[in-house]
Structure 1
Amino acid sequence: MNRFAWLLDRLAYEPRRNAKLALITDYLRSTPDPDRGYALAAMTGGLAFRNAKPGLIRALVAERTDPLLFGLSYDYVGDLSETVALMWPARHGANAVPHLPEVVESLREAGKTDLPRLVAGWLDALDETGRWALLKLITGALRIGVSARLAKTAAANLGGVPPDEVEQVWHGLEPPYRELFAWLEGVGPRPEARDPAPFRPVMLSHPIEDGDFDRLDPAEFSAEWKWDGIRVQAVSGRKADGSRVTRLYSRTGEDIAGAFPDLVDELTLDGALDGELLVMRESAVQSFNTLQQRLNRKTVTAKMLGEFPAHIRVYDLLADGEEDIRHLPLDERRGRLEAFLSRLASVRFDLSPEIPFASWEKLTAARSDPASAGAGADAEAVEGCMIKRRDSPYLPGRPKGYWWKWKRDARLVDCVLMYAQRGHGKRSSFYSDYTFGVWRVAAEGGEELVPVGKAYFGFTDEELIELDKYVRKNTVNRFGPVREVTHEAQAGLVFEVAFEGLQRSTRHKSGLAMRFPRISRIRWDKPPREADHIEVLEALLPTNV
């Protein structure tokens, strides 16, 4: 456990990607099984402990420390694991320092009644860094700046194989990945997926910049709409006994089929489809807010199936029957996809239409006005467009030069800062999370501010220091860890906020909520009374919201 804690500590303070990669590779090379496998699982999000929750940690520390002191410390530090690790009154020598496999296997098997004793014993035995790593492992929030892709790349380095090769076999494996390491170190065969309906790592795109168009030939690319849904993979195959297995995967490989029986029942052909999960009513794509009624559910009622009918707008075919066709060029996969959907003949699946264009200027015009460029009634569900090389294979990860995303320009609105809260991790000492609002007519007359969103990025480190000073100097009230700042008509701070979409919300007093808001500019020069009114936002609402 101590060596795993050392690795996490080094990674947390190392800003350079290549240095992080070297640290992980060295750890995996020098650490035996099963320790390295469980460490790799922790870094790739492959561990989940049903009964170990942050609430357990809070209850344990409340028994060992003064609750008021813990509350004040947590407010200052901003990170639960770090606060508990520093405050825990250790009893060194009371227990043996646990090994990582012991911790993982015990957390998996222990019941709710046994967990408090186990975790407290481990915390007693470990030092501050070990306690911090243990708590990060339990809560699942490592926050060490390591993506799953980077960790898999480090594993691939052990065998000198491309990271894509590891991605190809990854979802047929389980921690502690003994088969994977045996293959990478040349002492075992390449792991083979035995799942009849496996998840295939998704291919991602790069945001396109204006200068990129000068280097790209429009004749070599196709374009299609970028829909405001969630990326999914619908896969169906047969077991050895002939029974069908159908799964619906999220972008990260989580099987969400249980919440979408209306889609699962319709996929009656063997294959793997890549597309966008949407809700369709009367042949029109609905808003993302409507789709959210179907997301994050284990099961759904018959009423919900009728009110929020699920749909997949398909844009790629990864497997046709038992044949993996990801190596084929996009144009050829597209042709086979059209034939596949024709055979499927389901109203729940349709082909994502291509955008006709002969030049980047034509595509620019189409992106600006999707309704006139073929999107029709679905135009309000368009986020922008995707640009794909016609000869591109389907590769896992985010390979350069193949796929680009070109989102529609963000909407901008001037909002007034209302509340601030400390951030997490390296920002735990700064008030970096900001809630902002717009003006509206109050019921009793006059005007009032109502919150419409929250953002914690879009500004530089230097601007963060100035914002933190402003919050501390202009606090007028406190609600636990939240500070209310001055936001009168004549005093306060205005943010220019950029956001991707807007939806109705019962959680906000304004009745509106922004999608993906970020602070575009700090308007030190603008009086709060000149910030925008709620009518400006309401005019931007989609008509199908």
Structure 2
Amino acid sequence: MNRFAELLDRLIFTPSRNGKIRLLTSYFSSVPDPERGWAVAAITRDLEIRSVKMAAIRQIIASRTDEVLFDLSRDYVGDTAEAAALIWPAKHGANRQPTLSEVIETLNAASRAEAPAIVEGWFDALDASGRWALIKLISGGLRIGVASRLVKVALSEFGQVEPQEIEELWHGLTPPYEELFAWLEGRGEKPVNAMKAPFRPVMLSHPVEEADKPKIDLASMAKEWKWDGIRVQLVREGDEARLYSRTGDDISGAFPDVIEGFPVDAALDGELLVYDPEVTDRFAVRPFNDLQQRLNRKTVTAKMLMSHPAFVRAYDILWAEGEDLRTLGLDDRRAQLETVIGDGLPRVDLSERIEADDWEALQEMRSSPPIDAIEGVMLKAKGAPYVPGRPKGPWWKWKKEPYLVDAVLMYAQRGHGKRSSFYSDYTFGCWRDGELVPVGKAYHGFTDQELKKIDKFVRDNTIERFGPVRSVKATREHGLVFEVAFEGLNRSPRHKSGLAMRFPRINRLRWDKPAAEADEVATLEAMLPA
């Protein structure tokens, strides 16, 4: 278990993507089955331990520590697992450290009544890092800056195979992946994916920069709107249908209406959107905020299915009736897509193509789309095959310029991982009737050097503390102004300002700007979609 904990610790403090891949491949090379397979399942969050939950962990901690002291420690550290791991008063004796495999197999075989005593014994045997890893494993909270896709890339490098091969097998595999490792090490045959309706790795685009424009032949590019939803892959094969996110997560359970409304054998690439059921126009797209109400749910209520119906706006087809279409050019795939969709399916329609002869015309369309649910334009080479990953040249995205607003820092919260010693999560506000009203929260967009300066400002100007959160002095005469960039804005009754920003981030620090000159909430309200 401590070996696994060491891996997690090093992954957290390794900022580079290639560095993380090297750590993972080294671990796969030096750790035997099934230990390494369980590690993969834990990091990709394909693992669930049912016999013990966080409530039981808190009861175990309370049995050995003063609850008030623990609450104070947790508030200071900002993370329950880290505080518990550090404060635990271990009873050392003849305690053998468990392996990761032993932890998973024992807890999955134990009852809820038996599990707490088992975990308590392991807490005594492990060091602080091991206890932290154990708690994170149990709670499913392994947020260590490693996406599932990165683990699959590391597996492909370990076995010297293409990442696409791992992606296409993934949903047919089960932890601890011993068959997969046997193939990657040349000890066995490639696993056969017997699962119907598998995920196929997606093709990604590059943002258009000024320097790219002379290299792009607009006449050879198909143009489409870039819709403000989430990228999905909708697949049906016989009686099996699935909806996947762009990273290959199966989100079918949250969108049964989409699954039921797709009756053909095909794999479509498109945008998941929500439409207004009260508008007579077919699939009148609603703002991203409405789609967000349905995301990250395992199931969905009948009421939500009626009030927030979902559909897929398809712009590509990868497979149909047993035939892989990805080697065809885009225009040939488009013809196949039009045939499959026909006059329209119950929960699928076709993304329309648009026309623009030059960059000026395209800029006008990009800046003033017909509805607010469009966030820019897409350019796709008409003859290009569908290539997984992000090849530069075939696909481009040209999004609208972000909205910008000047806001004042109001609250700061400790970060996580390598930022746990800094106040790095910021709530900011704009003026309304002479008072600051919170309008958003951001935790990225600044450099490490800027973080240190903001952290010092927070510590020097704290007026109240609320556990890991500090309230910062923010008046018209004194305050730190952020220029905040965001992609969109919607009304939200859950927020005091009545507004919710989409993808807010710190665009730059305005040390030069007086807090009194920050924007009013009315400025934001004027940006709301009509």
| TM value normalised by structure 2 | 0.93
1:421 aligns with 2:421: no
The equivalent of 2:366 in structure 1 is 367
The equivalent of 1:280 in structure 2 is 275
1:166 aligns with 2:166: yes
Shift in Å at residue 70 of structure 1?
Answer: 2.4
Provide, for residues 136-176 of structure 1, a one-character-per-residue CA deviation record: whole Å limited to 9, x for no partner.
32233334443323322222233321222222212211111
Q: Secondary structure at the match of 1:314?
A: strand
1:390 aligns with 2:382: yes
Provide the rounded CA distance (Å) in 1 between the counterparts of 2:233 and 2:448.
38
Which of 494, 500, 504 aligns to 2:491? It is: 504
Provide the rounded CA distance (Å) in 2 between the counterparts of 1:166 and 1:353.
33
Shift in Å at residue 301 of structure 1?
Answer: 4.6
The equivalent of 2:455 in structure 1 is 468
Provide the rounded CA distance (Å) in 2 between the counterparts of 1:218 and 1:114.
66
Aligned pairs for 1:96-111 within 5 A: 96-111=96-111
Q: Which runs of 4+ in 1 moved over 6 A?
A: none
Change (3 A) 1:404 1:92: farther
| TM value normalised by structure 1 | 0.90
Contact preservation (8 Å) 1:440, 1:449: yes
Change (3 A) 1:383 1:113: farther
Q: Secondary structure at the match of 1:380?
A: coil
Change (3 A) 1:462 1:258: closer
1:132 aligns with 2:124: no
Contact preservation (8 Å) 2:404, 2:486: yes
Which of 423, 432, 456 aligns to 1:431? It is: 423
Contact preservation (8 Å) 1:497, 1:521: yes
Shift in Å at residue 462 of structure 1?
Answer: 1.7
1:517 aligns with 2:516: no
Which of 523, 526, 529 aligns to 1:539? It is: 526
The equivalent of 2:345 in structure 1 is 346
Change (3 A) 1:252 1:107: farther
The equivalent of 1:241 in structure 2 is none
Q: Which has the larger displacement, 261-270 or 104-113?
A: 104-113
Provide the rounded CA distance (Å) in 2 between the counterparts of 1:151 and 1:59.
34
Aligned pairs for 1:143-542 within 5 A: 143-238=143-238, 244-281=239-276, 282=279, 283=281, 284-342=284-342, 345-371=344-370, 379-441=371-433, 447-542=434-529
Shift in Å at residue 454 of structure 1?
Answer: 0.6
Change (3 A) 1:56 1:230: farther
Provide the rounded CA distance (Å) in 1 between the counterparts of 2:356 and 2:267.
29
What is the one-letter code of the residue matched to 1:428?
S
Q: Which has the larger displacement, 119-128 or 256-265?
A: 256-265
Shift in Å at residue 341 of structure 1?
Answer: 0.4
Contact preservation (8 Å) 1:420, 1:485: yes
Shift in Å at residue 247 of structure 1?
Answer: 2.1
Contact preservation (8 Å) 2:171, 2:195: no
The equivalent of 1:374 in structure 2 is none
What is the one-letter code of the residue matched to 2:404?
L
Change (3 A) 1:323 1:460: same
Aligned pairs for 1:58-97 within 5 A: 58-97=58-97
The equivalent of 1:444 in structure 2 is none
What is the one-letter code of the residue matched to 2:272?
L
Change (3 A) 1:308 1:176: same
Structure 1 unaligned spans of 5+: 239-243, 372-378, 442-446
Provide the rounded CA distance (Å) in 1 between the counterparts of 2:386 and 2:104.
35
Change (3 A) 1:33 1:267: same
Shift in Å at residue 473 of structure 1?
Answer: 1.6
Provide, for residues 439-472 of structure 1, a one-character-per-residue CA deviation record: whole Å limited to 9, x for no partner.
113xxxxx22211111111122222112112111
Provide the rounded CA distance (Å) in 2 between the counterparts of 1:79 and 1:497.
27
Between the aligned residues of both structures, percent identity stands at 61
Contact preservation (8 Å) 2:404, 2:483: yes
What is the one-letter code of the residue matched to 2:352?
P
Provide, for residues 3-47 of structure 1, a one-character-per-residue CA deviation record: whole Å limited to 9, x for no partner.
222322333333343333223212212222111111122232322
What is the one-letter code of the residue matched to 1:392?
A
Change (3 A) 1:461 1:157: closer
Provide, for residues 468-510 of structure 1, a one-character-per-residue CA deviation record: whole Å limited to 9, x for no partner.
1211121222223221111222222221111111111122111
Provide the rounded CA distance (Å) in 2 between the counterparts of 1:215 and 1:294.
40
Contact preservation (8 Å) 2:38, 2:100: yes
Contact preservation (8 Å) 1:78, 1:425: no
Shift in Å at residue 52 of structure 1?
Answer: 4.2
Q: Secondary structure at the match of 2:372?
A: helix
Shift in Å at residue 315 of structure 1?
Answer: 1.0
Aligned pairs for 1:8-47 within 5 A: 8-47=8-47
Provide the rounded CA distance (Å) in 1 between the counterparts of 2:108 and 2:325.
38
Change (3 A) 1:88 1:392: farther
Shift in Å at residue 514 of structure 1?
Answer: 0.9
What is the one-letter code of the residue matched to 2:354?
I
Provide the rounded CA distance (Å) in 2 between the counterparts of 1:303 and 1:146.
36
Change (3 A) 1:269 1:135: same
Contact preservation (8 Å) 1:76, 1:428: no
Shift in Å at residue 330 of structure 1?
Answer: 2.1
Provide the rounded CA distance (Å) in 2 between the counterparts of 1:51 and 1:214.
60
What is the one-letter code of the residue matched to 1:163?
P
Contact preservation (8 Å) 1:92, 1:126: no
Change (3 A) 1:420 1:128: same
Equivalent residues, number:
525
Change (3 A) 1:296 1:155: closer
Q: Secondary structure at the match of 2:353?
A: coil
RMSD between aligned residues: 2.2
Contact preservation (8 Å) 2:223, 2:354: yes
Provide the rounded CA distance (Å) in 1 between the counterparts of 2:419 and 2:338.
49
What is the one-letter code of the residue matched to 1:351?
L
Structure 2 unaligned spans of 5+: none
Contact preservation (8 Å) 1:420, 1:432: yes
Provide the rounded CA distance (Å) in 2 between the counterparts of 1:17 and 1:492.
36
